[in-house]
């Protein structure tokens, strides 16, 4: 795997955890803030959501990546068996793949001959070109999952920070502002490092956070706890 793909993979893990943690906790704490008006309850709910979310995200990332690895290995075994048992059919599949790409005549024959002469190349061609599957490095699954979980923690703490220092009204405003800015920067960076327009991606990600916050805040207002005289 190239250095570019390695870096992109890590960026995707960071964004997955950070965005999910920030957006979910933002909605939770603003809902609690609107319902209770109590900074202590907000921080308790926010911290509970932070760690529950990070563990959940890391677990989901692990099972998802492990499942992809299992699927790849299952399909690889099937392709190996088919090459052993029905090689003629598999050769024709390789020929059809490259025929669709515009190869023909002697050039097509030569390409097919080169590919099927090396069992490893043959298998990789079938996995990549026929099944659109890429190998998953099992040694990196745990590390990638932990990265998702840690990113979720850091992302979750961003909207929560103001509530440690200010009263509820000010904290709600600051939480919205810094969360929107953080999401915009994250979205822009994602687009810059992968594919897309930084400004558009940043605004889209910020909008997701604001919509989530408004949903949580409205739920909190609906179930607002009456103030006891």
Residue 142 makes CB contacts below 8 A (sequence gap 6+) with: 62
Tens-digit pLDDT profile for residues 63-111: 999 999 999 999 999 999 999 999 999 999 999 999 998 999 999 999 9
Distance CA 118, CA 64 (A): 32
Distance CA 28, CA 160 (A): 10
Tens-digit pLDDT profile for residues 36-47: 889 999 999 999
Closest CA to 75 of 119, 127, 130: 127
Angle, to 10 degrees, between the axis of helix 39-85 and the axis of helix 87-100?
A: 120
pLDDT for the residue numbered 216: 86
According to DSSP, residue 134 is labeled -
Tens-digit pLDDT profile for residues 159-208: 999 999 999 999 999 999 999 999 998 888 877 776 678 888 888 888 88
Domain boundaries, the chain: 3-69+152-222
pLDDT for the residue numbered 205: 83
Six-digit token string for 148: 């998702």
pTM of the predicted structure, to 2 decimals: 0.76
Whether pLDDT at 116 is above 80: yes
Given a contact cutoff of 8 angstroms between Cβ atoms, the answer to whether 145 and 57 are in contact is: no
Classify residue 58 by burial, with Cβ atoms within 10 Å: 0-12, 13-18, 19+: buried
Six-digit token string for 180: 């929107």
Tell me the pLDDT band of 226, cut-offs 50, 70 and 90: low
Distance CA 30, CA 157 (A): 13
Q: How many Cα atoms sit within 13 Å of 14 on the Cβ side?
A: 12
pLDDT for the residue numbered 225: 64
More confident residue, 80 or 15: 80
């Amino acid at each position: 795997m190239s250095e570019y793909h390695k870096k992109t993979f890590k960026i995707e893990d960071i964004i997955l955890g950070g965005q999910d943690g920030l957006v979910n906790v933002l909605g939770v704490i603003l809902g609690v803030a609107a319902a209770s008006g109590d900074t202590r309850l907000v921080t308790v709910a926010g911290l509970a959501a932070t760690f529950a979310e990070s563990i959940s995200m890391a677990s989901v990332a692990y099972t998802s990546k492990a499942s992809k690895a299992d699927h790849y290995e299952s399909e690889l075994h099937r392709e190996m068996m088919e090459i052993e048992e029905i090689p003629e059919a598999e050769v024709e599949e390789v020929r059809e793949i490259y025929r669709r790409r515009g190869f023909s005549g002697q050039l097509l024959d030569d390409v097919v001959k080169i590919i099927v002469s090396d069992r490893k190349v043959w298998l990789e061609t079938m996995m990549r070109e026929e099944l659109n599957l890429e190998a998953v490095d099992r040694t990196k699954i745990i590390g990638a999952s932990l990265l998702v979980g840690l990113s979720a923690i850091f992302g979750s703490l961003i909207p929560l920070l103001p509530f440690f220092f200010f009263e509820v009204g000010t904290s709600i405003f600051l939480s919205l502002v810094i969360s929107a800015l953080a999401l915009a920067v994250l979205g822009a960076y994602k687009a810059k490092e992968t594919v897309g327009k930084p400004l558009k991606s940043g605004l889209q990600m910020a909008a997701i956070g604001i919509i989530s916050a408004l949903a949580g805040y409205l739920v909190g207002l609906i179930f607002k706890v009456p103030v006891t005289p």
